């Protein structure tokens, strides 16, 4: 193995170690209750929440160590040149050979993940009383996911491989443009075409709640045509609300588990928070950032595709576009971890802003706080995650911090 191979290996080991350290620091905080949330959990719930965190952390480590071990074996036993040899014997065009190889490797990863996902759903989530997924739903979810992945992923992957095949490294500009256009269209169509395959979306029944939501949306000039109630209870007892899509494809979605468990004031406050993300331009900012991020990735990727030493690190004798994609993503692992820090920090800042927007425009700051408490309680959340763990993993600030901010807004 050459020096680039060692750099990549060191990067992967570093990234894994940093994540494990963050997890262990976080585990030490299990059971600590910040003063804003005193009394939220009973003694028994507090112990159960600590046990839940422990179980999920341990399970996450087992899953990732197993995968890392298998991946290293695949790498050092020259798995990449073996797969490449197999696909080059097919009579397919090089672009389709690449698509075929990437799907084969993706399918192998999917098969590896399957028992872990089963265990997580039917042993861990079930054990703590969250799971509502039947075995039937679990299996059909996987099959639908696979079909959609192939249907949506194939043209995208083939497009990227084709542009690099046709234009060499300068194909990155065409890739960038096409991927941005494709994902923007997909974002608009997914709520209408794909999500209904997984859940039932019924219009929110006429009544006080719907009237209040529509009145509020009108008052803050957030045009809404459709509010849907989703059968989130089909898979889990955890509750949520979101809105999705843009322009006339926009939909507000409430989980049935949210409407069942929370008061109308609380549901209103949660929705106002969600609309706040749009009104504070978070959606646009995130969209622009993701466009820049995608462009930067394709630009950097273009330097790696024809760089032979990178391929030698994985025992390949010549460069291939599809393996270049994989090797670049591995080289990128530690950089991705570093980039996560500002991305997650920005996301947490947006959450505070959306909370403030909701409190200001509805006057329901206290309901938002009680709703957040209720959501934490019903999902047995870790009430005081370690700051390092938060910096690395949390797109939302810890609930105690959000409540503290809401209290200062009064
Ligand atoms: Zn939010």
Q: Which listed residue (84, 266, 274, 351) is catalytic? A: 274
**Domain residue spans of the chain:** 3-198+279-408
The pTM for the full model equals 0.88
Whether 281 shows a pLDDT value over 90: the answer reads yes
Q: What are phi and psi of 228, to 5 degrees?
A: -120, 150
In the reported structure, the alpha carbon of residue 325 is separated from the centroid of ligand 1 by a whole-number distance in angstroms of 33
Q: How confident is the model at residue 282 (pLDDT cuts 50, 70, 90)?
A: very high
| Average pLDDT, integer, range 185-206 | 84
In the reported structure, the alpha carbon of residue 276 is separated from the centroid of ligand 1 by a whole-number distance in angstroms of 8
Instruction: Name the maximum alpha-carbon separation found in the chain.
Output: 69
**Residue written as token pair 């299996």:** 139
Whether 328 shows a pLDDT value over 80: the answer reads yes
In the reported structure, the alpha carbon of residue 218 is separated from the centroid of ligand 1 by a whole-number distance in angstroms of 20
In the reported structure, the alpha carbon of residue 150 is separated from the centroid of ligand 1 by a whole-number distance in angstroms of 31
In the reported structure, the alpha carbon of residue 284 is separated from the centroid of ligand 1 by a whole-number distance in angstroms of 14
Q: How confident is the model at residue 247 (pLDDT cuts 50, 70, 90)?
A: low
| Average pLDDT, integer, range 319-339 | 94
Q: Which of 264, 265, 240, 262 is nearest to 253 (CA)?
A: 240
Q: What is the pLDDT of residue 251?
A: 77
Q: What is the pLDDT of residue 2?
A: 92
Q: What is the pLDDT of residue 250?
A: 72
| Average pLDDT, integer, range 127-132 | 88
In the reported structure, the alpha carbon of residue 235 is separated from the centroid of ligand 1 by a whole-number distance in angstroms of 22
In the reported structure, the alpha carbon of residue 400 is separated from the centroid of ligand 1 by a whole-number distance in angstroms of 15
**What tokens does 243 get?**
């809105």
In the reported structure, the alpha carbon of residue 277 is separated from the centroid of ligand 1 by a whole-number distance in angstroms of 7
Q: How confident is the model at residue 232 (pLDDT cuts 50, 70, 90)?
A: confident
Is 366 assigned a catalytic role?
no
| Average pLDDT, integer, range 201-222 | 90
Contact residues for 255 (Cβ-Cβ < 8 A; gap 6+): 230, 232, 233, 239, 240, 241
| Average pLDDT, integer, range 4-21 | 95
| Interatomic CA distance for residues 170 and 3, integer angstroms | 27
In the reported structure, the alpha carbon of residue 371 is separated from the centroid of ligand 1 by a whole-number distance in angstroms of 13
Q: How confident is the model at residue 65 (pLDDT cuts 50, 70, 90)?
A: very high
| Interatomic CA distance for residues 77 and 69, integer angstroms | 12
Contact 263, 243 (CB under 8 A): no
Q: How confident is the model at residue 285 (pLDDT cuts 50, 70, 90)?
A: very high
| Average pLDDT, integer, range 274-289 | 92
| Stretch (H or E) spanning 230 | strand 227-230
Q: How confident is the model at residue 321 (pLDDT cuts 50, 70, 90)?
A: very high
* DSSP structure string for 248-265: GG-EEEEEHHHHHHS-HH
| Average pLDDT, integer, range 336-346 | 94
CA R_g for the chain: 23
Summarize pLDDT for 256-273 with one digit per residue, the tens: 888 888 899 999 999 999
* Percentage with pLDDT > 70 across the chain: 99
Whether 31 shows a pLDDT value over 90: the answer reads no
| Average pLDDT, integer, range 219-231 | 85
In the reported structure, the alpha carbon of residue 273 is separated from the centroid of ligand 1 by a whole-number distance in angstroms of 6
| Stretch (H or E) spanning 377 | helix 365-378
In this structure, are strands 201-203 and 241-244 parallel, antiparallel, or unpaired?
unpaired
- Top-confidence residue, 391 or 231: 391
In the reported structure, the alpha carbon of residue 142 is separated from the centroid of ligand 1 by a whole-number distance in angstroms of 28
Q: What is the pLDDT of residue 320?
A: 93
Q: What is the pLDDT of residue 249?
A: 65
Q: Which residues pair with 131 in a beta bridge?
A: 236
Q: What is the pLDDT of residue 326?
A: 96
| Average pLDDT, integer, range 270-299 | 93
Q: What is the dihedral of CA 108, 114, 116, 118, to 10 degrees?
A: 180
Q: What is the pLDDT of residue 259?
A: 87
In the reported structure, the alpha carbon of residue 275 is separated from the centroid of ligand 1 by a whole-number distance in angstroms of 9
* DSSP three-state, residue 40: coil
Summarize pLDDT for 392-403 with one digit per residue, the tens: 999 999 999 999
Weakest mean pLDDT among 138-142, 258-262, 294-298, 314-318? 258-262
Q: Which of 2, 4, 11, 9 is nearest to 333 (CA)?
A: 11
| Interatomic CA distance for residues 405 and 369, integer angstroms | 10
Q: Which residues pair with 227 in a beta bridge?
A: 252
Is 274 assigned a catalytic role?
yes
| Stretch (H or E) spanning 229 | strand 227-230
Average pLDDT, the chain: 91
Q: What is the pLDDT of residue 162?
A: 96
* Percentage with pLDDT > 90 across the chain: 69
Contact 388, 22 (CB under 8 A): yes
In the reported structure, the alpha carbon of residue 131 is separated from the centroid of ligand 1 by a whole-number distance in angstroms of 24
Contact residues for 177 (Cβ-Cβ < 8 A; gap 6+): none
Q: Which listed residue (23, 125, 266, 355) is catalytic? A: 355
Sheet holding 241-244: strands in order across? 201-203, 227-230, 251-255, 241-244
């Amino acid at each position: 193995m050459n020096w680039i191979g060692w750099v990549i290996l060191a990067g992967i080991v570093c990234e894994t170690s940093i994540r494990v350290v963050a997890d262990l620091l976080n585990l030490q905080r299990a059971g600590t209750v910040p003063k804003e949330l005193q009394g939220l959990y009973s003694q028994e719930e507090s112990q159960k929440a600590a046990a839940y965190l422990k179980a999920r952390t341990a399970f996450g480590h087992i899953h990732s160590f197993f995968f890392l071990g298998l991946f290293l074996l695949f790498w050092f036993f020259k798995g990449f040149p073996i797969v490449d040899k197999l696909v080059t014997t097919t009579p397919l065009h090089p672009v389709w050979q690449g698509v075929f190889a990437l799907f084969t490797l993706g399918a192998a990863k999917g098969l590896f993940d399957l028992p872990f996902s089963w265990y997580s759903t039917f042993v861990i989530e079930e054990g703590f009383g969250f799971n509502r997924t039947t075995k039937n739903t679990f299996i059909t979810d996987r099959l639908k996911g696979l079909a959609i992945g192939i249907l949506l992923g194939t043209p995208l992957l083939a497009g990227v491989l084709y542009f690099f095949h046709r234009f060499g490294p300068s194909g990155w500009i065409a890739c960038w443009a096409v991927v941005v256009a494709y994902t923007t269209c997909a974002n608009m169509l997914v709520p209408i075409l794909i999500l209904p395959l997984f859940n039932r979306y019924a219009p929110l029944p006429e009544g006080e709640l719907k009237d209040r939501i529509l009145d509020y949306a009108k008052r803050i000039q957030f045009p809404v045509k459709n509010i849907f109630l989703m059968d989130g209870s089909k898979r889990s007892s955890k509750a949520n609300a979101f809105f999705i899509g843009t322009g006339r494809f926009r939909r507000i979605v409430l989980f049935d588990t949210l409407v069942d468990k929370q008061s109308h004031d609380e549901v209103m406050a949660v929705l106002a928070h969600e609309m706040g993300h749009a009104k504070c331009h978070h959606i646009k900012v995130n969209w622009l950032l993701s466009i820049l991020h995608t462009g930067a990735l394709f630009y950097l990727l273009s330097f790696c595709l024809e760089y032979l030493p990178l391929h030698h690190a994985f025992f390949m004798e010549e460069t291939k576009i599809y393996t270049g994609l994989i090797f670049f993503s591995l080289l990128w692992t530690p950089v991705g971890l570093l980039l996560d820090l500002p991305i997650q920090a920005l996301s947490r800042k947006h959450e505070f802003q959306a909370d403030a927007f909701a409190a200001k425009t509805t006057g329901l700051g206290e309901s938002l706080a009680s709703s957040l408490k209720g959501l934490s309680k019903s999902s047995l959340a870790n009430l005081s995650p370690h700051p390092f763990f938060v910096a690395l993993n949390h797109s939302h600030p810890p609930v105690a911090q959000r409540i503290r901010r809401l209290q200062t807004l009064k």
